[in-house]
Amino acid sequence: MEAPLRRGCLGVGRRFALDTLARIGRNGGRSVCSSAVRRHNNPLNLPPRPAPPRQPRTLPDRPPPPPLPRMARGLPVKTPIAGVKHVVAVASGKGGVGKSTTAVNLAATLANHQNLRVGLLDADLFGPSIPLMLNLRGHEPELNDKGMLVPLVNYGVKAMSMGFLVREEDAVVWRGLMVMKALEQLLRQVDWAGTDVLVIDMPPGTGDTQLTITQQVPLDGAIIVSTPQDISLADAKKGVAMFNKVNVPILGMVQNMSHHICTNCGHTSHVFGHGGVKRTAAEMGLPLLGDIPLHSDVCETSDVGTPIVVARPDSEHARVYREMGEKVWAKLSAGKKV
């Protein structure tokens, strides 16, 4: 059984709850089942969207054209996100490899060094990290006059996350159908208007979330993040295979935590192995977008909610992220499909 969200999204959840209780009371409790069905269709408890006007029905002079192939097979049709020019997924097969850190710093460098209008969607509904990493904890998005969520903004990046809609200590315990519908709402019922690049921080794995996004949104490309360790690379290869299977181009791979340089003696240690992502990328014919060292500064700046490209723009890590942003934007602006 799915756990209810105790904290209402947008600061208006209490009003929705009171209205729901009042309706149940007026109907003698008969609306409980129907409200449960509506909850599956609207897990974020957003105001209902108005139905499009019905067109008068006329008899066609000729047979209608055949349906689209995907519709004919009962599959969803990819629809662009309103107001968004490019969509990039930052993914990994395994958790804990620095995927969210990469997504945040990529978004920040695109916004601050490429002067782009950037959005960041935290698609990890069960373990959202973006509120902490963008120093937006405790803030709630508002609704605009069209009933759409307005992203929160920091460091020039528009952000939306499940972490803005639930209390930090609450767990989201949802089945696949609820997850897929919530993702659809975060994609379609958030005001992303005027966004040059939307970076999607994907959860680990190759499950419902990944399939929902790749089937519903035309992605310009995916970035695969991994450490050089073999156990991480094994899952990264599965991530590459998944995107290939759903015809999403891979923009390249990122080798995170590639090596550690001692701050006292300058000795270089390859804690997670040496060059594993670089070799794997070469074997798969993919470019290496960045080789990011392991350093405590990255952890410290992330934990205090300041991306390292903002907190320490002159650091080696910031330089690597800037170069990565330049490569990604060059591919997107040129319309390259790797």
Helix or strand run (H / E) with residue 292: strand 288-294
Strand partners, 195: 84
What's CA 307's distance to the chain center, in Å? Answer: 17
Confidence of residue 7 (pLDDT cuts 50, 70, 90): very low
Residue 99 vs residue 7, higher pLDDT: 99
Determine the longest span between alpha carbons in the chain, in angstroms. 82
State whether residue 35 is helix, strand or coil.
Answer: helix
With a cut of 70, say whether residue 59 has pLDDT above it: no
Give the pLDDT score at 175: 84
Confidence of residue 70 (pLDDT cuts 50, 70, 90): low
148-161 residues labelled b (16+ CB within 10 A) or e (exposed): bbebbebbebbbbb
Q: How large is the C-alpha radius of gyration of the chain?
A: 22
Domain with CATH 3.40.50.300 in the chain: 84-334
CA angle 312, 256, 213 (to 5 degrees): 100
Cβ neighbours of residue 57 under 8 Å, at least 6 residues apart?
none
Residue 161 vs residue 22, higher pLDDT: 161
Confidence of residue 325 (pLDDT cuts 50, 70, 90): very high
Give the pLDDT score at 89: 96
Residues 248-292 pLDDT 10s: 999 999 998 887 777 777 767 777 777 889 999 999 999 999 998
Residue 163 vs residue 43, higher pLDDT: 163
CA dist 117 and 215 (Å) reads 25
Length of the chain: 338
Give the pLDDT score at 21: 45
- The answer to whether 181 and 104 have CB atoms below 8 angstroms apart is no
Which amino acid is residue 161, in one-letter code? S
Residues 162-214 pLDDT 10s: 999 988 888 888 888 888 899 999 999 999 999 999 999 999 888 888 888 99
Give the pLDDT score at 29: 46
Distances (CA, A) of 334 to 110, 208, 217, 220, 233: 16, 31, 20, 11, 29
- The answer to whether 98 and 292 have CB atoms below 8 angstroms apart is yes
Q: What CATH number matches the domain at 84-334, 1.10.3720.10, 3.40.50.300, 3.40.50.12780, 3.90.1150.10? A: 3.40.50.300
With a cut of 50, say whether residue 82 has pLDDT above it: yes
Confidence of residue 77 (pLDDT cuts 50, 70, 90): confident
State whether residue 192 is helix, strand or coil.
Answer: coil
- The answer to whether 236 and 209 have CB atoms below 8 angstroms apart is no
CA dist 102 and 108 (Å) reads 10
- The answer to whether 251 and 283 have CB atoms below 8 angstroms apart is no
- The answer to whether 7 and 149 have CB atoms below 8 angstroms apart is no
- Phi and psi dihedrals of 102, rounded to 5? -65, -45
pTM, to two decimals: 0.79
Query: Considering the chain, what percentage of its residues have pLDDT values greater than 70?
Result: 81
CA dist 157 and 196 (Å) reads 11
Cβ neighbours of residue 335 under 8 Å, at least 6 residues apart?
none
226, exposed or middle or buried, with CB in 10 Å at 0-12, 13-18, 19+?
A: buried
